[in-house]
Amino acid sequence: MRVVLDFLNNLQNNNNREWFEAHRAEYLNAKNTFEAFAEKLIAGISEFDISIRNISVSNCTYRIYRDIRFSGDKTPYKTHMGAFVSPHGKKGGYSGYYFHIEAHNSDYIGGNILSAGVYRPEPKVLKSIREEIMLNGLVFQKAILSAGSDFVLDNSAKLKKVPFGFPADYQYSDYFRYKNYFLTQYVGDEFFLSDQLLENTLKEFEKTLPFNNLLNRAIAYAYGTDQE
């Protein structure tokens, strides 16, 4: 993963088309390295989460080109690479496992992360997840705790009050206030540069399986696919 991180760091300092085209070979080397790892990651996750089987690398990874049409930031390239390994792929709307490496001093997320869950679920999915928590609040809490203390439930987007239709006096009512449901663990460069990167990543992601399973049960219900 060294070639990936080195390329992203160089791109962070030279985010323009002229530099990128002059270093396209380095980009392709970094891209191929990352995608080769993503392929192994998908295979490894599918060993403990059968819903991931038959997912392709292209369904989990992202283009490096930024959409700058409506952005004040006109830098043309992303300075991070990520893979979201999820049932039905990155656009399927399901909870999954996110692997993210980022250039130093980039302000996209602010560091390298491992994450599990669902980001910005659509309204019917959000409602279904909250209903799942209302029915199984203790199970939801245990799923978070089973991921270990290094994983934290993201609280960057929370309502000030419990949403309408959900009981404010419920023991686990604080979870109703979340608008995103994903766990995040920040990891340093040493994690990504380890010879045991794949093994260590799979070990961490496997801890989040109960959390993903619970979310995907609620999501499948929202989509009407819970009997499939």
Task: Count CA atoms closer than 13 A to 210's CA, side-chain side.
Answer: 13
- Residue labelled with tokens 């300092």: 13
And the tokens for 222?
């929202």
C-alpha to C-alpha distances, 84 to 93, 133, 147, 168, nearest whole angstrom: 11, 24, 18, 33
Q: What is the mean pLDDT of residues 45-70?
A: 91
pLDDT in tens, 85-102: 999 999 999 999 999 999
Domain boundaries, the chain: 2-223
Residue 228 clears pLDDT 70, i.e. is over it: no
CB 51 within 8 A of CB 87: yes
- Residue 225, pLDDT > 80, answer no
| Predicted pLDDT of residue 226 | 58
Which one, of 17, 11, 16, 46, lies nearest residue 31 by Cα? 11
Q: What is the maximum span of the chain, computed from C-alpha positions, in angstroms?
A: 60
CB atoms near residue 157 (< 10 Å) = 11
Count Cβ neighbours within 10 Å for each residue of 163-175 and write b for 16 or more, e otherwise.
Answer: eeebeeeeeebeb
pLDDT at 45 over 90: yes
| Dist. CA 107–CA 147, nearest whole Å | 26
